[in-house]
Amino acid sequence: MPPRNPAYEKADLQFNLFVGKNIKALRTNRELSQADLAVKANMDSSHISRIETAERGLSFRQAIVLAQALGVELIKLGTWDFHTDSPSEKGEEPKPKLRVVGK
């Protein structure tokens, strides 16, 4: 087994944080508790909590199950809408807000 690369571990953590925040935002936008989502996804609510806080990584299968339970396409777990500061549900490419400095 090759040695662990700290850069990859950092990237994995950042990815898990990003996806976890998206899952939480999608869940709360649908007014679902962690327990509600856990039932829909056939998971334990503590597992949902650990995914949302990136204490635990997300397998591809779990991502599919959670996307289905949230009623979104899988890609929505990794898409962010910079206009609303929440996950994009329109499928459009987000456009970051720009501010002119020095005028």
Domain tally for the chain?
Answer: 1
95 secondary structure, DSSP code: -
97 secondary structure, DSSP code: -
Mean pLDDT computed over 3-16: 85
Task: Identify the sign of the CA torsion 75, 25, 59, 40.
Answer: negative
Asked, for residue 21, whether it belongs to a domain, the answer is yes
10 three-class SS: helix
Domain boundaries, position 63: 6-87
20-61 pLDDT tens trace: 999 999 999 999 999 999 999 999 999 999 999 999 988 999
Asked, for residue 23, whether it belongs to a domain, the answer is yes
pLDDT band at 78 (very low <50, low <70, confident <90, very high): confident
Task: Write the CATH number for 62.
Answer: 1.10.260.40
pLDDT band at 93 (very low <50, low <70, confident <90, very high): very low
pLDDT of residue 67: 95
Question: Is residue 84 pLDDT above 60, yes or no?
Answer: no
DSSP letters along 17-86, please?
Answer: HHHHHHHHHHHHHTT--HHHHHHHHTS-HHHHHHHHTTSS---HHHHHHHHHHHTS-GGGGG-EETTTTE
Q: What is the distance between the alpha carbons of residues 74 and 84, in angstroms, rounded to a whole number?
A: 20
Asked, for residue 99, whether it belongs to a domain, the answer is no
